[in-house]
Amino acid sequence: MMRSIELFAGAGGLGIGLHQAGFRPVSVIELNAYCCDTIRENQERGITTVENWPVAHCDVRTVDFNQFEGCVLIATEK
């Protein structure tokens, strides 16, 4: 398993593809509340691809990235 961080995650489309490629996010960061709600709704519905995603509804400028040392990929939708 390769660890990743998903920035500007949207509703998770890129993250789903990365999951299929073997990456597992240690954080999924998105500012848009509706996008976070979509991911959480999919988690509640039992969608296995997103079930363990740690979703953070916040601005990436407020994140301390030191906590993610050792991640092999930083993915961004922007």
Burial (CB count within 10 angstroms: exposed 0-12, middle 13-18, buried 19+), residue 48: exposed
Query: What are the domain boundaries of the chain?
Result: 2-76
In order along its 78 residues, the chain shows pLDDT tens digits of 899 999 999 999 999 999 999 999 999 999 999 999 999 999 999 999 999 999 999 999 999 999 999 899 999 976
Classify domain 2-76 by CATH number.
Answer: 3.40.50.150
pTM given for the model: 0.90
The C-alpha atoms of residue 15 and residue 19 are separated, in whole angstroms, by 6
